[in-house]
Amino acid sequence: MKISLIGPPGAGKGTFASKISEKYGIPVIAIGRELRRMAEKTELGRILKEKYWGRGKLVPTKYAMEILKEKINKKGYILDGFPRELNEAKKFDKIDQLDAVILLKVKKSTLMFRLTGRLQCRRCGRVYHIKNYPPKKPGICDICKIKLYKRSDDQERKTIRERLKIFNEEIKPIVKYYKSKGILKEINGEDPISIIIRNIENAVKELKKKKLKENC
């Protein structure tokens, strides 16, 4: 299964990518997470944070593609937040073919609420929300028992607004591209988590069935 989860910042890409990964045993490739790791370890990572993602801007395609190529396993994967630009979608097609692209749709006011209240564990990557999904002990990861942190690109409303603006500018041609290939499904990302998981699973099944029919 080769799935891409796309949607605005705070739509739930990370949340659902990890849930699908647990269920089907396929790895998640999350470029945003890799960039945050790089920023803690390498000079290039620090520069990319300072110039691009830390300000809410996309990193140049070249770096996103390098991370992707290193992580991709042709047996199956879930791409969390890739592609972000039509250019990335076209470049990716030369590497591999996706079975399904799921677009999570969420209102701007909901996104703001989710991002400003999000907390994350540095070790296991689990995502919490101070109101929606609080950890059992305030500020501490239920699993790793270490202190949770707030992502640097979630700290200022200005940066969040920039991320949302860029998403809105780039998404339309991507949607058109995957619709023309017949592999895109839109899902309401405002629903409760259990319903969204079911809807994603059904959408993936439907797209796979369609592909099998076309190949017969």
Minimum CB distance to ligand AP5 smaller for 162 or for 208: 162
Q: Which of 13, 19, 36, 49 is catalytic?
A: 13
Contacting positions for ligand AP5 (CB under 6 A): 7, 9-15, 31-33, 35, 52-53, 57-59, 64, 81-84, 88, 114-115, 118, 127, 129, 132-133, 163, 189, 193, 196
13 labelled catalytic: yes
- Give the separation between CA 64 and CA 60, rounded to whole angstroms: 7
Partnered with residue 126 across adjacent β-strands are: none
Minimum CB distance to ligand AP5 smaller for 9 or for 183: 9
Q: Which of 2, 19, 118, 126 is catalytic?
A: 118
46 labelled catalytic: no
Listed in order, strand segments (DSSP E) in the chain are 2-6, 28-30, 77-80, 100-105, 118-120, 127-129, 184-188
Q: Which of 49, 84, 114, 126 is catalytic?
A: 84
Minimum CB distance to ligand AP5 smaller for 57 or for 210: 57
84 labelled catalytic: yes
Q: Are strands 28-30 and 77-80 parallel, antiparallel or unpaired?
A: parallel
Task: Tell me the residue number closest to ligand AP5, measured at CB.
Answer: 32
Q: Which of 46, 71, 150, 151 is catalytic?
A: 151
> What is the amino acid identity at position 211?
K
- Give the separation between CA 81 and CA 166, rounded to whole angstroms: 13
Is 5 strand, coil or helix? strand
**Closest approach of Cβ 62 to ligand AP5, in Å?**
10
CB atoms within 10 A of CB 182: 10
**Closest approach of Cβ 145 to ligand AP5, in Å?**
19
Minimum CB distance to ligand AP5 smaller for 20 or for 204: 20
For residue 108, which phi and psi values (nearest 5 degrees)? Answer: -60, -40
Contacts with 29 (C-beta within 8 Å, 6 or more apart), sequence order = 68, 71, 72, 77, 78, 79, 80, 82
Q: Which of 2, 19, 49, 163 is catalytic?
A: 163
163 labelled catalytic: yes
Of residues 92, 75, 71, 69, the one with CA closest to residue 6:
92
Minimum CB distance to ligand AP5 smaller for 133 or for 177: 133
Which sequence positions are flagged as catalytic? 13, 84, 118, 151, 163
